[in-house]
Amino acid sequence: MLLTETSSPAVLAQLGDEFKSKPFIPPRVVTHGDLQTLAAYFWPGRFRPRDLTGDEVRMFQVEKDTQVLARCRWQPNRTERGTIVMWHGIEGSSSSAYMLATAEKAYRAGMNVVRMNIRNCGGTEHLTPTLYHGGLTHDVRAMIEELIDQDRLPRIFLVGFSLGGNMVLKLAGEYGDDPPSQLAGVATISPSVNLRASCELIMTRRNFIYHKEFLHNLKRRIRNKAKLFPGRYDSSGLRHIKSLRQFDDTYIAPAFGFADADDYYKQASSLPYIPRIRVPTLIIHAQDDPFVPFEPLRDSSIAANPNVLLLAPERGGHVAFLSADSHDEDRFWAENRLTDFGSILVGNNMKWSGAQRFP
């Protein structure tokens, strides 16, 4: 994208106009949210495990007994470039298709790329005796501090997909008026900002297949953890757990000091934190997302925050947004808007003014 201005307000205004000029238009045969979600998953060239050539495998020590694994790809002059740091969705990994595709776009746009694995994900269950939950901002904060203090990275662009989106939005809100000066901005695709609402939707009859798959993977994780850390996890009751809520009530809530599943959902959801965000933030969420509801994002406090831009196409599914045209680098509209946003924030060393509202 060619910029004609360099001041922050002018750049943001031009970026808003750019987004308006590229609305999301789905293919006629792939308009439904479920079809969008499945089409993106099975799109040729994306449905295969692959890593970027030349990635560095790196461990971040986030607690005394816990490490999280990242796959990093650095530009030759890394300390002079912006860095995109990405967090995946529930039971995803650094090798999820949307993570890899976005990483490739961001690297070609001149950014350093750091693809994180949430605790236990991506084959890293042995790196921690603990589990993970959707509001675990401690790990995000710890790795950002390391990248700033040890790597001396000047501009960090924080990105999250689905559950990872909830985590990065919550952290941005926790920072409030005092974010690190190196945090250039935040962007999310299909974030689950209200965990209770997301859980309730995924457990409905229409989402039986999605629900069954998520629950199967979570149960498998407990069995694996029980083998790796004998005596710490009781897997004998897994056969009685029939829903994500039961799983969260039985395993996640007690593991992290929540009273129950409802207390976990309340404390870990990012929705109450979004009004406190003071860094430029992009939220992309389809109104027909099949299992992360859009309704919580209608909250008036989000529209009232001048630091948050919400793009809410009527169609697009979950972490999908497969476009009818390929005027962008490829047909994945949301990933391209996210890359545009990050390129502007980290590429022009902008100063953000909270009084400047996105168009």
Convert 46-69 into a string of H (helix), E (strand) and C (coil). CCCCCCCCCCEEEEEEEECCEEEE
Q: Which of 123, 73, 80 has its CA nearest to residue 99? A: 73
pLDDT of residue 150: 96
Q: What number of helices (H) and strands (E) belong to the chain?
A: 12, 8
Q: What is the pLDDT of residues 136-173, one digit of tens each?
A: 999 999 999 999 999 999 999 999 999 999 999 999 99
14-194+269-347: what CATH class?
alpha beta
d(CA 101, CA 53): 13
Structure-block tokens of residue 10: 């002018």
Neighbouring residues of 160: CB distance < 8 A, sequence distance ≥ 6: 86, 87, 166, 167, 168, 169, 186, 187, 188, 189, 191
d(CA 103, CA 273): 27
Q: Please state the φ and ψ torsions of residue 234, each to the nearest 5 degrees.
A: -100, 110
In this structure, how many other beta carbons lie within 10 angstroms of the beta carbon of residue 344? Answer: 23
Q: Please state the φ and ψ torsions of residue 101, each to the nearest 5 degrees.
A: -65, -45
Q: What is the pLDDT of residues 233-243, one digit of tens each?
A: 999 989 999 99
Of 357 and 36, the one with more pLDDT: 36
Structure-block tokens of residue 80: 């002079």
Neighbouring residues of 44: CB distance < 8 A, sequence distance ≥ 6: none
Q: Following CA atoms 219, 225, 228, 233 in sequence, which dihedral angle do they give, to the nearest 10 degrees? A: -110
Domain extent listing, the chain? 14-194+269-347
pTM flag (> 0.95): no
d(CA 231, CA 227): 9
Contact 211, 200 (CB under 8 A): no
Q: Compute the mean pLDDT over every residue in the chain, rounded to the nearest whole number.
A: 89
* pLDDT beyond 90 at 89: yes
- Please report, rounded to a whole number, the percentage of residues in the chain having pLDDT higher than 90: 76
In this structure, how many other beta carbons lie within 10 angstroms of the beta carbon of residue 178? Answer: 8
- Please report, rounded to a whole number, the percentage of residues in the chain having pLDDT higher than 70: 89
Query: Mean pLDDT, to the nearest integer, of 288-299?
Result: 96
Of 183 and 21, the one with more pLDDT: 183
Which class for 138: exposed (0-12), middle (13-18), buried (19 or more C-beta within 10 A)?
A: middle
pLDDT of residue 14: 64
* pLDDT beyond 90 at 232: yes
d(CA 76, CA 99): 22
Contact 114, 147 (CB under 8 A): yes
CA 35 to chain centre: 21
